[in-house]
Amino acid sequence: MNNKIPVITIDGPSGAGKSTLCNIIANKLNWHVLESGMIYRLLAILILHKNVPIIEKNIIFFLKDLDFSLFKKRNVSHILQLQIVGETASKLATFAEIRQMLLYKQRCFRKLPGLIAEGRDMGTIVFPDAIIKFFLKANLETRVCRRINQFKTIGLSTNYKKLFEQLKIRDERDQNRLISPLYPSKDAIILDSTNMTLSEVIAYSMTEIKKQSLHDIKI
């Protein structure tokens, strides 16, 4: 791990707004972006496409075919956001060997001038030496509404009650899995965005970044 390259991490549950905040901060700092959930979603798409049973030893075989260039292809954007893809990705994340194999791939995103990484264990496992760690959260009802609005922007529709139960189950799985469970690191900045607008979340985050007074960060 190259400690000379600064990293800012954003962890939190599904629907908290991590991806949006991650990309906005990265754009302001002109840093690279790692949306770790997309790595698992790409693997999930591959598994679903090939009808591979979700058994760890079977899935490991397909890891070598994980093509990151898919991130840049618009024709998979809708597929990446499908609920079945998200649910499959969440299940894949419970396998220890798969997480270990993807750990190296995630750390390869660390390049100059810096990296903004979002996920579930970016600040606790993947980049424990991050210069700033955010833990972004919001209550379940708020996250469900945000996810529904996100789906609408890409032409997808879903039922509130169904999505509520799905996110609730995913929260429980993320928090209770034995490998890399979701929890804030001891040095994380806890940010509850339940009653905050996106502009307020961005402003708060950038203020915290500026407080660091790091020569590596130029705003």
147-154: average pLDDT? 87
Residue 205 has pLDDT above 90, yes or no: yes
12 is in an annotated binding site: yes
18 is in an annotated binding site: yes
90 is in an annotated binding site: no
What is the predicted pLDDT for the residue at 68? 59
Residue 127 has pLDDT above 60, yes or no: yes
Q: How many CB atoms lie within 10 A of CB 201?
A: 21
Most confident listed range (41-45, 77-81, 120-124): 120-124
What is the predicted pLDDT for the residue at 28? 95
16 is in an annotated binding site: yes
d(CA 207, CA 14): 24
19 is in an annotated binding site: yes
pLDDT grade, residue 69 (50/70/90)? low
pTM of this prediction? Answer: 0.88
Question: How would CATH label the architecture of 7-211?
Answer: 3-Layer(aba) Sandwich (3.40)
d(CA 29, CA 212): 14
> Could you report the per-residue pLDDT of 81-100, keeping only the tens digit for each?
787 898 899 889 889 889 99
78 vs 125 pLDDT, higher one: 125
What is the predicted pLDDT for the residue at 66? 62
> Could you report the per-residue pLDDT of 101-110, keeping only the tens digit for each?
889 889 999 9
117 is in an annotated binding site: no
25-42: average pLDDT? 93
3-state SS record for 12-72: CCCCCCHHHHHHHHHHHHCCEEEEHHHHHHHHHHHHHHCCCCCCHHHHHCCHHHCCHHHHH
15 is in an annotated binding site: yes
